[in-house]
């Protein structure tokens, strides 16, 4: 997406922003810690300025590779090794009901159902707490959403927390499941999303949450979400320069708190449709921004928390299909480690859809097939079977065809490939209808239970705020 010169120019601009404009952190103790670490601080404006040499030294301690652990060890997320992982997204407040198709407020049950669905979808490799639970009170809100995630999926779990008290609860919960704090540090079963506010502002509660995570070995991202033309310049290059400054500031702050802590370069850039000032998260430019962000993170050998697979469409329709697939393909081809928002999201990230989870899993499978590429060797070239079949022959029944059919081709479960007559006899189902049936089948097969009765009893005794669904 960016030339080598373009990457260097945006990097220089981002570093200049950190050096000359700085980041506003309205918290005296946080600013004092940065001053003690060698940053330049102006208490009057509540800004920290990050000069280039200091920034380079601080960033050197950020790890280039680490693992976000799964419960069973079979679906660990390896970051920094050239692998691409797709996952869902979070903080949605509406759901498209699987039975009625109507939109309704999300609940704690939707967290559990989404976790169970993701656990059984092959190409969605990690789980982000997906939605607001409108039936929960604030005090034990995050405790309950993470608990339901741990109950119903063995994938790595990620989510946001509103402050250090919330993340402390989750840390204690995860330690109880992992078998202790040291085991959790060695194999982190969860990670935390924090967000720097664009432009260039870090809320004190976010900073405290970030510090808590870093000091306890909880992997974290501090992800800016600049909107081109609204909270960032109305040009793609300007948005990238500001986002890059914000993302580097998040990584640097994490390393000040705990050198060597596991942190992802965060990037959630998007655009506005400036004709009517509508948020346009599914725009082609949003996809381009995220693909470019991968290149900027790679310049510092940092794993990236990137965004793709979001659509502005309100239903699982053609618009959702082309917006999602384009962005997933662009960002994956750029080499993003960790692509969130890629499953289940509609309506610019405001609505989740169970059938969309299933459709997006198939899209992710197709993208993984593209990433695999075309293998070329003596066996795959097939000269012997071509010679055997000869002019006018066919290859359908040849052993060579059978031997390679499963590793050469991606076989979709939703796409219609039958001839018209058979399709018509089956009732003419489309992709959305097939996805809806698959989601019902998965969710109707009984709950995924990843905690045994003994663990559940012990956790409920320790955390009386856990609610039933």
Q: How far apart are the first and last CA of the chain?
A: 46
Question: What domains can be seen in the chain, in order of their start residue?
Answer: 4-59 (no CATH), 66-372 (3.20.20.480), 378-408 (no CATH)
Q: Which helix (H) or strand (E) holds 190?
A: strand 190-194
DSSP for 311-333? ---SSSSHHHHHHHHHHHHHHHH
User: Is the pLDDT reported for residue 447 higher than 70?
Assistant: no
pLDDT in tens, 80-127: 999 999 999 988 999 999 999 999 999 999 999 999 999 999 999 999
Give me the count of residues in the chain. Answer: 469
Nearest-angstrom CA–CA distance, 427 and 420: 11
Of 2, 400, 420, 20, nearest in space to 245 by CA: 20
pLDDT in tens, 355-386: 999 999 999 999 999 999 999 999 999 999 99
- Whether residue 101 contacts residue 64, with contact meaning beta carbons closer than 8 Å, is answered with no
Nearest-angstrom CA–CA distance, 307 and 340: 5
Instruction: Output the average pLDDT for the chain.
Output: 96
- Whether residue 321 contacts residue 366, with contact meaning beta carbons closer than 8 Å, is answered with no
User: Is the pLDDT reported for residue 469 higher than 80?
Assistant: yes
Q: What percent of the chain has pLDDT over 70?
A: 100
pLDDT of residue 445: 81
pLDDT in tens, 238-292: 999 999 999 999 999 999 999 999 999 999 999 999 999 999 999 999 999 999 9
pLDDT in tens, 285-323: 999 999 999 999 999 999 999 999 999 999 999 999 999
pLDDT band at 49 (very low <50, low <70, confident <90, very high): very high
φ/ψ of residue 265, rounded to 5: -65, 120
Nearest-angstrom CA–CA distance, 110 and 126: 17
User: Average pLDDT for residues 32-50, to the nearest whole number?
Assistant: 97
pLDDT of residue 7: 98
pLDDT of residue 138: 83
State the CB neighbour count (10 A cutoff) for residue 234.
13
User: Average pLDDT for residues 436-447, to the nearest whole number?
Assistant: 90
- Whether residue 39 contacts residue 231, with contact meaning beta carbons closer than 8 Å, is answered with no
pLDDT in tens, 401-441: 999 999 999 999 999 999 999 999 999 999 999 999 999 99
């Amino acid at each position: 997406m960016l030339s080598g010169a373009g990457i260097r120019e945006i990097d220089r601009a981002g570093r200049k922003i950190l050096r000359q404009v700085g980041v506003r952190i309205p918290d005296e103790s946080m600013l004092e810690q940065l001053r003690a670490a060698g940053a330049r601080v102006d208490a009057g404006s509540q800004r920290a300025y990050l000069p280039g040499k200091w920034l380079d030294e601080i960033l050197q301690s950020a790890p280039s590779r680490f693992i976000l652990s799964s419960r069973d060890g079979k679906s660990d997320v390896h970051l920094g090794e050239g692998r691409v992982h797709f996952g869902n997204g979070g903080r949605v407040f509406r759901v498209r009901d699987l039975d009625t198709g109507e939109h309704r407020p999300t609940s704690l049950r939707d967290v559990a159902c989404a976790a169970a669905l993701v656990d059984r979808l092959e190409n969605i490799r990690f789980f982000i707490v997906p939605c607001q639970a409108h039936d929960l009170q604030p005090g034990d809100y995050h405790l309950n959403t993470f608990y339901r995630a741990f109950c119903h999926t063995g994938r790595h779990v990620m989510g946001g927390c509103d402050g250090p008290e919330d993340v402390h609860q989750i840390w204690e919960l995860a330690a109880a499941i992992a078998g202790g704090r040291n085991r959790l540090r060695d194999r982190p079963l969860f990670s935390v999303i924090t967000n720097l506010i664009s432009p260039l502002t870090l809320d004190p509660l976010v900073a405290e949450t970030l510090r808590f995570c870093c000091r306890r070995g909880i992997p974290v991202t501090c992800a800016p979400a600049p909107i081109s033309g609204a909270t960032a310049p109305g040009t793609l290059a300007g948005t990238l320069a500001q986002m890059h400054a914000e993302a580097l500031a998040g990584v640097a702050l994490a390393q000040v708190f705990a050198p060597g802590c596991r942190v992802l370069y965060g990037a959630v850039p998007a655009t506005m449709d400036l004709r009517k000032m509508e948020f346009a998260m599914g725009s082609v430019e949003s996809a381009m921004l995220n693909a470019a962000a991968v290149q900027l993170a790679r310049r510092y050998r940092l794993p990236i928390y990137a965004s793709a697979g979001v659509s502005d469409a309100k239903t699982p329709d053609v618009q959702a299909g082309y917006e999602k697939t384009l962005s997933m393909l662009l960002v994956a081809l750029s080499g993003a480690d960790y692509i969130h928002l890629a499953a289940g999201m509609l309506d610019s990230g405001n609505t989740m859809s169970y059938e969309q989870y299933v459709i997006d899993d198939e899209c992710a499978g197709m993208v993984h097939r593209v990433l695999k590429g075309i293998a070329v060797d003596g066996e795959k070239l097939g000269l012997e079977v071509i010679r055997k079949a000869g002019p006018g022959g066919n290859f359908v029944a040849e052993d060579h065809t059978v031997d390679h059919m499963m590793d050469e081709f991606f076989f979709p479960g939703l796409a219609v490939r039958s001839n018209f007559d058979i399709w018509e006899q089956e009732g003419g189902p489309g992709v959305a209808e097939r996805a809806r049936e698959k989601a019902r089948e998965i969710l109707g097969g009984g709950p995924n239970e990843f905690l045994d009765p003994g663990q559940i009893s012990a956790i409920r005794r320790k955390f009386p705020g856990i609610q039933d669904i």
